[in-house]
Amino acid sequence: MSAASAKRRSPCPVACGLDLFGDRWTLLVVRDLMFGAERFKDFAAAPEGIPTNLLADRLARLQSAGVVEPTAAADGSRHPAYRLTAKGKALYPVLAALRDWGLEWEKGTRTRG
């Protein structure tokens, strides 16, 4: 049994997805990566106001799960940057479906623009 499967509460794929993404912040970090955020300060500046200790934890969890990977910052600074892996990019349809659902059913929502 792998370390990841040892932490799972069941083999159900929905439950496994929720074990990684089923909190208030993780999918928002993935969303921001999809919109071009790459540095800690970019994620911290999101309008939802993720606390920095939780942001550090979520980035570490996503990296451990193979959803994000560290990369050199585009501006050449020594500060770490992050990017989505292929596994992370595969979440695009999930986030698009959540966006579409919110736009349809939650009054007052809007996309960035």
In the predicted model, is pLDDT for residue 68 greater than 80?
A: yes
* pLDDT, tens only, 69-113: 999 988 888 888 999 999 999 999 999 999 999 999 999 999 986
In 3D, which of 44, 51, 35, 49 has the Cα closest to residue 79?
44
- Is the pTM higher than 0.95? The answer reads no
Fold entry, domain 10-105? Arc Repressor Mutant, subunit A (1.10.10)
* pLDDT attached to residue 75: 84
Domain boundaries, the chain: 10-105
What angle do helix axes 26-34 and 92-105 make, rounded to 10 degrees? 100
Share the mean pLDDT of the chain: 92
